[in-house]
Amino acid sequence: MSDEYDNNKSYQAQSSEVMDGSTGSVNPDIDYVRPAEVGEQDLYHGHSFIEKWVFCQDAKVIGVQYFLTAVFTGIVGLILSWLMRLQLGFPELAGFMTAEHYYQFVTMHGMIMVVYFLTALFLGGFGNYLIPLMVGARDMVFPYVNMLSFWMFFVAVAVLMASFFVPGGPTGAGWTLYPPQTILEGTPGSGMGILLMLISLSLFVIGFTMGGLNYMITILQARTRGMTLMRMPLTVWGIFTATVLAMLAFPALLVSAIMMTLDKVLQTSFFMPTILKAGEVLEYGGGSPILFQHLFWFFGHPEVYIVALPAFGIVSDLISVHARKNIFGYRMMVWAIVGIGALSFFVWAHHMYVSGMNPWFGFFFATTTLIIAVPTAMKVYNWILTLWRGNIRINTVMLWCLGFIVTFVNGGITGIFLGNVSVDVPLSDTYFVIAHFHMVMGIAPLMVIMGAVYHWFPLVAGKMLHEGLGKWHFWITFLGAYSIYFPMHYLGFIGVPRRYFEMYDSPYMTSAVGMNEFISIAAFIVGAAQFILVFNIIKTLKTGKKAEQNPWKANSLEWYTSTVPPEHGNFGERLPVVHRWPYDFSVPGAKDDFIPQTTAPSEVIHTEVEKT
């Protein structure tokens, strides 16, 4: 480094005995960790209420802001799904709902849940809160832009919600927003609704880019001493890879949103072919609707893994901690995450088997799609092998993790069905598809989120969530989710199409009606059960029992902060120094069944700990 950094050469502790104050004989050779490469981060501490809690530059506050905003949109999405189920199960009770309303609810439910709820929650929420803590940084590298990222997201959500109140209502084109119908008259919300949706998506992408740059560079360039990439918790790996995907996939969404906005506002014909409407040729002509589908799914498929990879990472950590065992095949898990991420860019057209493609393309995309099953299956085996002969604590967190594994395998297997062209074509646009993607990228990541909330709540709030309520929450959600989505596979097999407002007098009417009622009742119960968590959180914040530091006896750095909950700057005077991976559980010969990442090798020299 050249001399322009010389002013800032306040190096930190040179060896670990200073940082953790241990008194044992320290062997400088085996405990050696390289000195810090760069000086301490220059943190700006907020002074006023607004700087501390509103336009705050602390990643932890930003994480909580992201979390709460995403949960708010998620609740809106949940209510929309209730309304949809009311129409499907009990149309006689849903007299207030027209077909237009139904399409609008379907569209908004999909978009909210995928983009504004899951993506924002995992990357904005957990990413902001956990990345600096887990890699041992004081904050994100560019806190100001990180703050802007949240407020951009907030504006995007506000614009999205505003579309409920404009003339014509929100767009009802389906969350995929396929042109040409999206912007043509006759589609609900083809006026202001779609415009606000496209603006909101563009804002989301811009906001996310600001945050994503922070997540990536904090992980790459701001780890603490001793924290190598292969000592990072899998949570960080999952969020990191998902962020890389997002940085490369969201551009396609931004471009398609811009082009469609121009098609809508300026009457360009990027996606609009020549259209005859009521015998008249519209102004449009010469555009390609398939181009939109390619752009959309070039974003859309990586988006699935943007949601799934953080879930994979987080669940690995939760399972390891609560089964008191090291994660089986850590490096394999890392490479599987990276491999899935890379492959996810080469599978997008499996969403377009029925759009009209050269059969060889179908063959290619079916092959790449099925190859993704390999690293994914490796991960599932590794989770199970981590549990194998572990000292499993069946607490709420572990229940959610087990629920995740089962649900994810279930949804993954139906994915193999749909990845094959010949099986997909008859199942396309049926309830089978709905069941598949809700299992694999709806319920499964949601279970991880729930597990993560129960796991990290003591860190964020300093209080333990109520276990009994948590178990009720889990069992109702788990059994209920299966009651909703298992029958949908069957509905798909008998050919019930998705996105239909009503079955009218079709043959499905007789065979599907009872099942639809059952599914709807289950959906109402599962949705209501989520408020157990809200109640649990409010109750815990008021009267809950105080959490000790590191209640789960975990190893990773977020539990070793100077205060609980951590303050701005995270680690007090000195940054932690890392000597090992975060998975040293139940090491033979060790005093406790866990060895924190900050424990120096000389302190555990008599144990059978592996070198990591």
Contacts with another protein by CB under 8 A lie at: 1-2, 4-5, 7, 11, 33-38, 42, 44, 57, 141-142, 144-145, 209, 212-214, 216-217, 220-231, 247-248, 250-252, 254-256, 258-259, 262, 266-270, 283, 285-288, 291, 295, 298, 578
Minimum CB–partner distance for residue 135 and another protein (Å): 10
Name the minimum Å distance from CB 222 to another protein: 6
Peptide bond into 359 cis (omega under 30): no
| Closest CB 231 distance from another protein, rounded Å | 8
Q: Which of 555, 558, 608 is nearest to 582 (CA)?
A: 555
Angle between helices 359-387 and 330-343 (to 10 degrees): 160
Cis peptide before 251 (omega within 30 of 0): no
Tell me the C-alpha distance between 475 and 24, whole Å.
47
**Structure tokens, 418:** 């749909």
Measured between alpha carbons, how far is 607 from 592 in angstroms, rounded to an integer? 11
- Which CB atom, from 239 or from 402, has the smaller least distance to another protein? 239
Residues 435, 437, 442, 447: what is their CA dihedral angle, to the nearest 10 degrees? Answer: 80
- Smallest distance, another protein to C-beta of residue 347, A: 17
In this complex, which beta carbon is closest to another protein, that of residue 13 or of residue 295? Answer: 295
Instruction: Name which of 81 and 293 has its Cβ closer to another protein.
Output: 293
Q: Minimum distance from CB of 132 to another protein (Å)?
A: 13
Helix axes 444-461, 396-419, angle to 10 degrees: 150
CB 544 within 8 A of CB 458: no
Contact 432, 488 (CB under 8 A): yes
SS3 state at 386: helix
Token digits for 58?
């602390």
CA distance 98 to 83: 11
Residue matched to tokens 């009802």: 172
Instruction: Kindly state the smallest distance separating residue 461's Cβ from another protein, in Å.
Output: 28
Nearer to another protein, 15 or 181 (CB): 15
Q: Angle at CA 438, nearest 5°, toward 258 and 386?
A: 115
166 or 282: CB nearest another protein: 282
Q: Which is nearer to another protein, 107 or 256 (CB)?
A: 256
Q: How far is CA 370 from the centre of its chain?
A: 22
Rounded Cα gap, residues 213 and 202, in angstroms: 17
Residue in 300, 469, 521, 317 with CA at minimum distance from that of residue 404: 317
Distance in Å, CB of 505 to another protein, minimum: 41
Query: Would you say 286 or 356 has its CB closer to another protein?
Result: 286
- Tell me the closest approach of the beta carbon of residue 138 to another protein, in angstroms: 13
Minimum CB separation of residue 609 from another protein in Å reads 19
DSSP secondary structure, 236-254, as one string:
HHHHHHHHHHHHHHHHHHH
Chain-centroid distance of CA 137 in Å reads 22
Tell the smallest beta-carbon distance from residue 294 to another protein (Å).
8
How crowded is residue 394: how many other Cβ atoms within 10 Å of its Cβ? 10
| Closer residue to another protein (CB): 34 or 389 | 34
The nearer residue to another protein, 36 or 342, going by C-beta atoms, is: 36
Q: How far is the CB of 34 from another protein (least distance, A)?
A: 4
Residue 32 or 501: which CB sits closer to another protein?
Answer: 32
Q: Residue 113 and residue 530: Cα distance in Å, rounded?
A: 15
Q: Which residues in 259-281 are b (16+ Cβ under 10 Å) and which e?
A: bbbebbeeeebbbbeebeeeeee
* Of 292 and 559, CB closest to another protein: 292
- Cβ of residue 440: shortest distance to another protein, in angstroms? 26
Phi, psi of 361 (to 5 degrees): -65, -45
User: How far is Cα 293 from Cα 290, in angstroms, rounded to an integer?
Assistant: 5
